[in-house]
Homo-oligomer: A and B are copies of this chain.
Amino acid sequence: MRFLLNYRSGKAVYLQLVEQVKLAAASGALQHGDTLPGIRPLAEQLRVNRNTIAKAYSELESQGVIETVAGKGCFVSGNVPLFKKDVRRKRLAKPVDEPLGHAQHLQSGKTEILRIGEER
């Protein structure tokens, strides 16, 4: 699993992690029994304090999304309901929506945006 953090966004990093794991679990990208990255390697990879990862995992465990086994690791638990398609679309709408606001301020046209989107 790859995590995308926005360190400058001000949103609590541990919450970004929690949300992304929950999203992935709810969308089926993470399935029952899958192993999450270890705290220390993940902390290094994301260049974040270990406590931050630990806090995210602990939050996820208390929400029943994952189970941690001391000395073994953290595993996705089985009781996460999958998103239905329309819910997924709704969740997608917001992040897609945001750049359009920026575009407005920059007075860019629709084609300009789409061309940039295509390149990715």
Listed in ascending order, the chain A residues whose CB lies under 8 Å from chain B are 2, 4, 6, 8-12, 15-16, 20, 23-24, 27-29, 62, 83, 88-89, 91-108, 112-114, 116-117, 120
Whole-angstrom CA separation of A92 from B105 in the bound complex: 10
Contact of A15 among B10, B113, B116 (CB under 8 A): B10
Please state if B92 and A23 are interface contacts (CB–CB under 8 Å): no
**CB-nearest residue of chain B to A104:** B2
Question: How far, in Å, is A10 (CB) from chain B's closest CB?
Answer: 2
**CB-nearest residue of chain B to A24:** B105
Whole-angstrom CA separation of A101 from B101 in the bound complex: 18
Q: A9-B11, A96-B99, A98-B6 are in contact. Are A89 and B107 (CB under 8 A)?
A: no
Q: A96-B117, A114-B117 are in contact. Are A107 and B28 (CB under 8 A)?
A: yes
